C-alpha cells in the first residue's frame, strides 16, 4: 500500500514531537503538555502506523515493548572495556588518591584541579550504542570485557531515548550509565507482589538486575526502572568536548537522562564538601546510593593518568560506611505492640553498620522469620539504611551450627501470659490480653502522646514504662490525673521537668477530632484515615452510630477497617476511657457531617488513584469523586470500579490491568461527571 507523502510527513512530525515531550518529562522533569494531550499524539501515531505498517521504524515511540520473548541472551564484547573503580573508605584514602593524581600529573598543591562529582548509584551498569542517533544495542557490563545483550529490555525503559534529539551527535555514540529502580517504585512493586503472593525483591539493585535479565520484555516494561548516564564510551564520526562535565551536559542536550546531583568541585576539599552534602541528603534522593564518584574533569589529564589493570587512575569511588555487615544471632525474642501484634526480633552480637552499632534487627512476622529461616546461632547479613530499623537480610547457611532449632510461634504472650491467636490468612499473630498486657499498654500510651496524636511533650518512653510498671497509668485518661508529686518521684524527673510536663498535658487537652481519633489507636486507622473519618462524620456520636456499610463510604475505609472501627466502639472499656477523657477536660471542635451524594454519577462506585495528575491534586480529585457520590480507597482490589491514573503510574496500574479494572485519565474523569 502506497503511503501518501502527507501521511509520511505527519508520522515523522508526530515522532519528533513525542520524542521532544519524552525528553522534557523523563529527562528534565519539565513537562509542557498534560497527559491527555500526550496520549492524543501517541494514539494518532499508533493509528497511522496501524493503517500503514511500512511507516513503523525501529526508533518509533510506539515500538518500546516487543511482543515476543527472546530465547536467550547473546554475548556482547565491549570494544572499550567497562572498568571498575578503586574505592576510598575514608578521608585519608581520598587525600592519598588526590596526591597520586597531583604527583603523576606533575602539578603542585597550589594548582586548581577540578573533579566531576556525582552520587554512586547502586544499580546495574549498562552500555547503550547509538548509530546515527538511533538506539541499536543495549548491553550489561558483565565482567567488564563481555556483557549480555539486553536491547529488548532497555528499549522498555522510558528514560532511555530510542532516538537522540538535537544535532551534532557522532554517527556512533556509546553511552554508559546505571539502570536502577527508584525507592518509591521498589516499595510499591514489592507491596503489589506481596498482596498477589508473588516473589519480592530483596533490594532495589537486585530488582534492577533481575528486571534487565528478563527474557520477556513485557515483564521488564512492568518494572519501574530508570537510568542516569555517567560517561561516553566509544565515539566514531564526531568529536566531544575536552572535559567530562561538558560531555555529560552534551548527552543531556541529546535527550540522555543524567543525574541532577552532579557537580564540578575544586580540589580534595571540594570533594569532601560534596560528599558530606550528599551524605546528609542521602535518604531523600529517591534512589539508593552507596557513595560518591570523583573523576578528574579534564580529559587530557585523564589520558595522561591512564589506567591500571582494572581501574582508571583518574577516578575513585568514595564509599559511605557499610550498610550491610555479618554478625551472629544471639537470641530471637517476640515483642508485643499496641494492637497485640507479635514481632520477632533478632538479638545480635553488636556490629557497626551504616554508621551506628546495631544490636537487634526486625524479622517482621512469623512467616518472614520462617521464610528466611533465622535461628539462634546463625551468621546473618544485617542491613541498615538511614533511619530505617535494621533488618536481617539472609542467613549464611554454610556457617550454620549443626544443633540449631527452627523458631516456633509462642502459644502464650511472653509478656502477660495471655493466649496468642492468629486469624486465618493473616501474617500477624496477636496477644489477646489487650490493655491488661503491660507491653500493649505501654505502646498504646506512647502512641497516644506522640507528636501527631495528642502531642504531649516530655512524656517519653522511659517515663511511660516507669508509670505503667508502678501501675500509675492504666489507660490514656489516667495521664490527665498525673500530679507533680507523683512525677517528681520518678527517675530523672526534677521539679522543672515535672512542671513542664504538667503544662504540656494541660495544653494537649485542646485538640482536634482527627487527632483524637488517631490517638485512640483504633486498628488500621492511621493519620489519613482518622482525618477522613473526622471530615466525613464531623462528630464522635455520628461516627459511633455509623453502620459497617456507612463507614465504607469514607475514603480509605474498606470492610476490614470498618470492622475494626465498629469493634472499637462496641467495647465498653473504650467508651469509658473516652468519657473520662472528656470529664478531665479533653475537648475538640465538631462540625456537621458530610452528606454523600447518593444520586451522583459515581454513587456506589469505588476509585483508586495513582500517579501525578496534570491539573488536579490528589485531594482535589478525591473531592470531585466524593461530590459525585463515589469513594476513594488506597489500594486496588477486585471490588475497585475505576483507577484514576496520571504520570508515573506505579504498580497500581499493573494490578488494575491484571484485574481488568477500568482505567481513567483526568480528562475521562471530568467527562464522566459531565454526562
Can you say how many angstroms the Cα of residue 520 is from the centroid of all Cα atoms in its chain? 28
Q: How far apart are CA 575 and CA 438, in angstroms?
A: 20
What element of type H or E holds 392? strand 391-395
* Cβ-based neighbours of 433, under 8 Å, separated by 6 or more: 340, 413, 415, 416, 417, 418, 440
Q: Name which of 607, 648, 615, 609 is nearest 37 in CA terms.
A: 615
- 19 to 12, 61, 116, 483, 636: CA distances (angstroms): 11, 7, 29, 69, 32
Partners of 265 in the β-ladder: 115
Beta carbons of 446 and 464 less than 8 angstroms apart: yes
Residue 538 CA, chain-centre distance (Å), reads: 33
Which residues does the annotation mark as catalytic? 120
Distance between CA atoms of residues 461 and 473, nearest Å = 13
Rounded to 10°, the helix 438-449/513-520 angle is 160
The residues that bridge with 146 in the sheet, in sequence order, are 77
Q: Are 212 and 140 in contact (CB under 8 A)?
A: yes
Q: What number of other Cβ atoms are within 10 A of residue 239's Cβ? A: 8
Are the beta carbons of 445 and 454 closer than 8 angstroms? no
Strands 226-236 and 662-664: unpaired
First to last CA, the chain: 41
DSSP 428: -
Of 207, 214, 84, 215, nearest in space to 143 by CA: 84
* Vertex 204 angle, CA 328 and 283, to 5°: 85
- H or E stretch including 134? strand 134-140
CB–CB of 73/220 below 8 Å?
no
Q: Positive or negative CA dihedral for 395, 396, 397, 402? A: negative
Contact 355, 89 (CB under 8 A): no
Dihedral sign, CA of 588, 592, 596, 597? negative
Amino acid at each position: 500500500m502506497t503511503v501518501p507523502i502527507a501521511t509520511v510527513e505527519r508520522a515523522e512530525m508526530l515522532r519528533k514531537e513525542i520524542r521532544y515531550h519524552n525528553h522534557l518529562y523523563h529527562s528534565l522533569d519539565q513537562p509542557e503538555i498534560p497527559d491527555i494531550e500526550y496520549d492524543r499524539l501517541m494514539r494518532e501515531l499508533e493509528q497511522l502506523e496501524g493503517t500503514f505498517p511500512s511507516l513503523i521504524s525501529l526508533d518509533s515511540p510506539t515500538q518500546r515493548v516487543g511482543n515476543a520473548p527472546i530465547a536467550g541472551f547473546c554475548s556482547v564484547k565491549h570494544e572499550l572495556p567497562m572498568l571498575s573503580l578503586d574505592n576510598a573508605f575514608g578521608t585519608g584514602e581520598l587525600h592519598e588518591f588526590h596526591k597520586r593524581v597531583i604527583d603523576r600529573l606533575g602539578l603542585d598543591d597550589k594548582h586548581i584541579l577540578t573533579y566531576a562529582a556525582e552520587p554512586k548509584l547502586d544499580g546495574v551498569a549498562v552500555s547503550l550504542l547509538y548509530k546515527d542517533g538511533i538506539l541499536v544495542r543495549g548491553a550489561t557490563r558483565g565482567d567488564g570485557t563481555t556483557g549480555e545483550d539486553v536491547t529488548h529490555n532497555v528499549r522498555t525503559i522510558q528514560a532511555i531515548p530510542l532516538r537522540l534529539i538535537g544535532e551534532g551527535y557522532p554517527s556512533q555514540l556509546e553511552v554508559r550509565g546505571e539502570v536502577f529502580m527508584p525507592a518509591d517504585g521498589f516499595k510499591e512493586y514489592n507491596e503489589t507482589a506481596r498482596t498477589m503472593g508473588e516473589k519480592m525483591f530483596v533490594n532495589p539493585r537486585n530488582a534492577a538486575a533481575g528486571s534487565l535479565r528478563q527474557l520477556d520484555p513485557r515483564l521488564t516494561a512492568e518494572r519501574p526502572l530508570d537510568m542516569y548516564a555517567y560517561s561516553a564510551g566509544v565515539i566514531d564520526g564526531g568529536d566531544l568536548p575536552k572535559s567530562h562535565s561538558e560531555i555529560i551536559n552534551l548527552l543531556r542536550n541529546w535527550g540522555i537522562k543524567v543525574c541532577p546531583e552532579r557537580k564540578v568541585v575544586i580540589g580534595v576539599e571540594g570533594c569532601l564538601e560534596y560528599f558530606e552534602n550528599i551524605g546528609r541528603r542521602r535518604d531523600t534522593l529517591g534512589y539508593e546510593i552507596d557513595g560518591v564518584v570523583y573523576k578528574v574533569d579534564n580529559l587530557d589529564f585523564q589520558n595522561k593518568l591512564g589506567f591500571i589493570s582494572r581501574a582508571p587512575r583518574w577516578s575513585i569511588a568514595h564509599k559511605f560506611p557499610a550498610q550491610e555487615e555479618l554478625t551472629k544471632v544471639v537470641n530471637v525474642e517476640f515483642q508485643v505492640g499496641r494492637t497485640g501484634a507479635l514481632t520477632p526480633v533478632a538479638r545480635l552480637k553488636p556490629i557497626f553498620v551504616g554508621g551506628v552499632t546495631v544490636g537487634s534487627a526486625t524479622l517482621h512476622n512469623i512467616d518472614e522469620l520462617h521464610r528466611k529461616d533465622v535461628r539462634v546461632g546463625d551468621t546473618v547479613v544485617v542491613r541498615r539504611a538511614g533511619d530505617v530499623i535494621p533488618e536481617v537480610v539472609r542467613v549464611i547457611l554454610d556457617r550454620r551450627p549443626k544443633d540449631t532449632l527452627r523458631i516456633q510461634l509462642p502459644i502464650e504472650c511472653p509478656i502477660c501470659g495471655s493466649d496468642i491467636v492468629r486469624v486465618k490468612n493473616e501474617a500477624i499473630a496477636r496477644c489477646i490480653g489487650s490493655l491488661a498486657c503491660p507491653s500493649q499498654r505501654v505502646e498504646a500510651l506512647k502512641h497516644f502522646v506522640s507528636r501527631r496524636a495528642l502531642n504531649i511533650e516530655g512524656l517519653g518512653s522511659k517515663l511511660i514504662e516507669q508509670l505503667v510498671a508502678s501501675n500509675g497509668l492504666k489507660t490514656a485518661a489516667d495521664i490527665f490525673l498525673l500530679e507533680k508529686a507523683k512525677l517528681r518521684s520518678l527517675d530523672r524527673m526534677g521539679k522543672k521537668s515535672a512542671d513542664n510536663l504538667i503544662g504540656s498535658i494541660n495544653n494537649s487537652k485542646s485538640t482536634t477530632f482527627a487527632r483524637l481519633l488517631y490517638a485512640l489507636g483504633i486498628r488500621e486507622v492511621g493519620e489519613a484515615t482518622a482525618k477522613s473519618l473526622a471530615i466525613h462524620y464531623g462528630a464522635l456520636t455520628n461516627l459511633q452510630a455509623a453502620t459497617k456499610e456507612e463507614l465504607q463510604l469514607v475514603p480509605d475505609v474498606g470492610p476490614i477497617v470498618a470492622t475494626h472501627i465498629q469493634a472499637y466502639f462496641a467495647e465498653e472499656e473504650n467508651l469509658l476511657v473516652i468519657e473520662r477523657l472528656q470529664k478531665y477536660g479533653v475537648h475538640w471542635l465538631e462540625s456537621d457531617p458530610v452528606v454523600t451524594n447518593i444520586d451522583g454519577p459515581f454513587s456506589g462506585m469505588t476509585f483508586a488513584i495513582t500517579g501525578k495528575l496534570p491539573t488536579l491534586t490528589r485531594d482535589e480529585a478525591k473531592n470531585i469523586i466524593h461530590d459525585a457520590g463515589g469513594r476513594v480507597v488506597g489500594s486496588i482490589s477486585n471490588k475497585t470500579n475505576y483507577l484514576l491514573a496520571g504520570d508515573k503510574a506505579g504498580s497500581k496500574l499493573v494490578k488494575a490491568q491484571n484485574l481488568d479494572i477500568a482505567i481513567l485519565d483526568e480528562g475521562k474523569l471530568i467527562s464522566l461527571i459531565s454526562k
